[in-house]
C-alpha cells in the first residue's frame, strides 16, 4: 500500500491541498490502481503482436492528387458583397 507521505508528496507536486482523510482515501485508491497494473504486467504477452487499434480496421488513404475545383471568381460569384476575390463582411469589433 502507498503510504500517506507519498500521497502528500504527489499532492504537493500536483499543487493539491488534501485533507488527512482525503490522503488516506487516495492512498487506498492509488494502491488498488497500481495493484491492477501489477496484475496486467504479469500477463505473458510473448508472441503477441502489438495493436494500433483494438479493432480490425484496414487503413485506407486516397491518393494525393491536386485537383482545381473552382476558381476564385466562381467562389465569390454568389456572394452578396465582395472586394476583389474576397468575401466582404461587416467589421467585427
CB atoms within 10 A of CB 27: 19
Cα separation, 84 vs 37, in Å, equals 62
Residue 72: C-alpha distances to residues 64, 80, 81, 83, 90 (Å): 22, 15, 14, 12, 20
H or E, element range at 83: strand 82-83
CA neighbor of 33 nearest in space, from 5, 51, 7: 7
Cα separation, 90 vs 80, in Å, equals 12
Q: Residue 48 has what pLDDT? A: 87
| Confidence bin at 93 (pLDDT 50/70/90) | confident
pLDDT tens digits along 25-47 = 988 999 999 999 999 999 998 99
Residues in the chain: 93
Would you state the CATH architecture of domain 4-41? Orthogonal Bundle (1.10)
Domain boundaries, the chain: 4-41
pLDDT tens digits along 15-27 = 999 898 898 898 8
| For range 1-24, the mean pLDDT | 88
Amino acid at each position: 500500500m502507498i503510504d500517506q507521505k507519498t500521497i502528500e508528496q504527489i499532492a504537493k507536486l500536483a499543487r493539491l491541498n488534501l485533507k488527512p482523510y482525503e490522503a488516506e482515501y487516495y492512498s487506498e485508491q492509488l494502491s488498488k490502481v497500481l495493484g491492477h497494473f501489477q496484475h496486467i504486467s504479469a500477463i505473458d504477452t510473448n508472441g503477441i503482436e502489438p495493436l494500433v487499434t483494438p479493432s480490425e480496421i484496414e487503413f485506407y488513404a486516397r491518393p494525393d492528387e491536386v485537383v482545381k475545383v473552382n476558381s476564385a471568381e466562381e467562389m465569390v460569384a454568389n456572394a452578396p458583397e465582395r472586394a476583389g476575390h474576397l468575401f466582404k463582411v461587416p467589421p467585427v469589433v
